[in-house]
């Protein structure tokens, strides 16, 4: 099962939920930090003996000896990474989305496989927890190709928890896609509600089952609860604005390890998610 922890905006407590859920379970679990532009799950997991792997993406290279400037590669590229000027094909690597369409359609086999570095994939294992995070190369314009590489480390049959990037753009969609369940994390403020609505609409477009966690639940107003009720969005957990929780977080510690009662809360959360996923499969 793959559970994605997502939010419409940053700072709602998404990483707190992901790390505590992953470390609360008494079973083998893989935690993926797919927020590759700003990964921070490692601040709480504190991985040891990390394995480092460079990640690369396909970029076309044009063999001028074979190219006839037919332009088919330019026609198929939706992102303008290729252009035809004076019978020459120019490549703009930063715009390439690595779909390999140009490689497939070139009749002269003049498109060859090049690559550009995306960043690093770091992995470690501690007890029953496997932790994988992506770190985008400074200057790299697009994070989805690296997110796909991080997700590519998932093995069949694994229980996976994904700490997704905030927002509803391509990085968040790439992280959540093909998940079995999405936990949306928000806070009861006007900004929280606005971005929750955007995130919820995105998840509905992906046709993924989802539920809500409200962090700092004793601030703000009731608008988030009203939205959840009117849209059939289950609220699985409410976390209060508590000084003890804030202090544990600020020290980079795990809540479920510091306060045993929270371990039981997150284990109960996981059982509820499992039940919802199973019921969704029955409906399908």
pLDDT of the residue at 284? 45
| Residues in Cβ contact with 207 at an 8 Å cutoff, skipping those fewer than 6 apart | none
pLDDT of the residue at 281? 64
Give the separation between CA 208 and CA 182, rounded to whole angstroms: 7
If one counts every other C-beta atom within 10 angstroms of the C-beta of residue 41, the result is 23
pLDDT of the residue at 279? 82
Give the separation between CA 160 and CA 126, rounded to whole angstroms: 15
Give the separation between CA 236 and CA 211, rounded to whole angstroms: 7
Domain layout of the chain by residue ranges: 2-55+119-283, 64-109
Two domains, one topology: 2-55+119-283 and 64-109: no
Asked whether the predicted pLDDT for residue 25 surpasses 70, the reply is: yes
Q: Are 86 and 152 in contact (CB under 8 A)?
A: no
What mean pLDDT is predicted for residues 151-160? 94
Give the separation between CA 264 and CA 256, rounded to whole angstroms: 8
Average model confidence (pLDDT) across the chain:
94
CATH fold of 2-55+119-283, please? Rossmann fold (3.40.50)
Of residues 220 and 179, the one with the higher pLDDT is 179
What mean pLDDT is predicted for residues 152-175? 95
What mean pLDDT is predicted for residues 230-258? 95
CATH fold of 64-109, please? Alpha-Beta Plaits (3.30.70)
Asked whether the predicted pLDDT for residue 282 surpasses 60, the reply is: no
Give the separation between CA 243 and CA 262, rounded to whole angstroms: 15
What mean pLDDT is predicted for residues 142-162? 94
Give the separation between CA 182 and CA 205, rounded to whole angstroms: 13
Q: Are 39 and 147 in contact (CB under 8 A)?
A: no
What mean pLDDT is predicted for residues 63-70? 95
Asked whether the predicted pLDDT for residue 70 surpasses 80, the reply is: yes
Nearest to 133 by CA among 145, 143, 124, 144: 124
């Amino acid at each position: 099962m793959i559970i994605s922890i997502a939010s419409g905006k940053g700072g709602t407590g998404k990483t707190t939920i992901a790390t505590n859920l992953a470390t609360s379970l008494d079973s083998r679990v893989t935690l993926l930090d797919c927020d590759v532009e700003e990964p921070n799950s490692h601040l709480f997991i504190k991985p040891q003996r990390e394995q480092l792997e460079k990640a690369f993406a396909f970029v076309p290279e044009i063999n001028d000896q074979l190219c006839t400037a037919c332009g088919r590669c330019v026609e198929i590229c939706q992102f303008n990474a290729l252009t035809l000027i004076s019978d020459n094909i120019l490549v703009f690597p930063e715009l390439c989305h690595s779909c390999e369409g140009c490689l497939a359609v070139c009749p002269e086999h003049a498109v060859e496989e090049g690559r550009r570095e995306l960043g690093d994939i770091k992995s470690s294992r501690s007890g029953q927890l496997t932790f994988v995070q992506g770190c985008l190369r400074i200057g790299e314009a697009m994070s989805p190709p690296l997110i796909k590489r991080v997700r590519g480390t998932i093995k069949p049959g694994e229980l996976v928890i994904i700490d997704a990037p905030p927002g509803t753009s391509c990085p968040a969609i790439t992280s959540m896609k093909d998940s079995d369940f999405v936990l949306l994390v928000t806070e009861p403020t006007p900004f929280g509600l606005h971005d929750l609505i955007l995130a919820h609409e995105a998840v509905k477009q992906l046709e993924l089952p989802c539920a809500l966690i409200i962090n700092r639940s004793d601030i703000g107003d009731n608008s988030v609860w009203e939205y959840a009720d009117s849209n059939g969005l289950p609220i699985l957990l409410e976390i209060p604005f508590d000084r003890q929780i804030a202090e544990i977080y600020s020290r980079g510690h795990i809540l479920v390890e510091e306060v045993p009662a929270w371990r039981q809360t997150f284990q109960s959360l996981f059982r509820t998610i499992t039940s919802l996923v199973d019921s969704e499969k029955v409906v399908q």
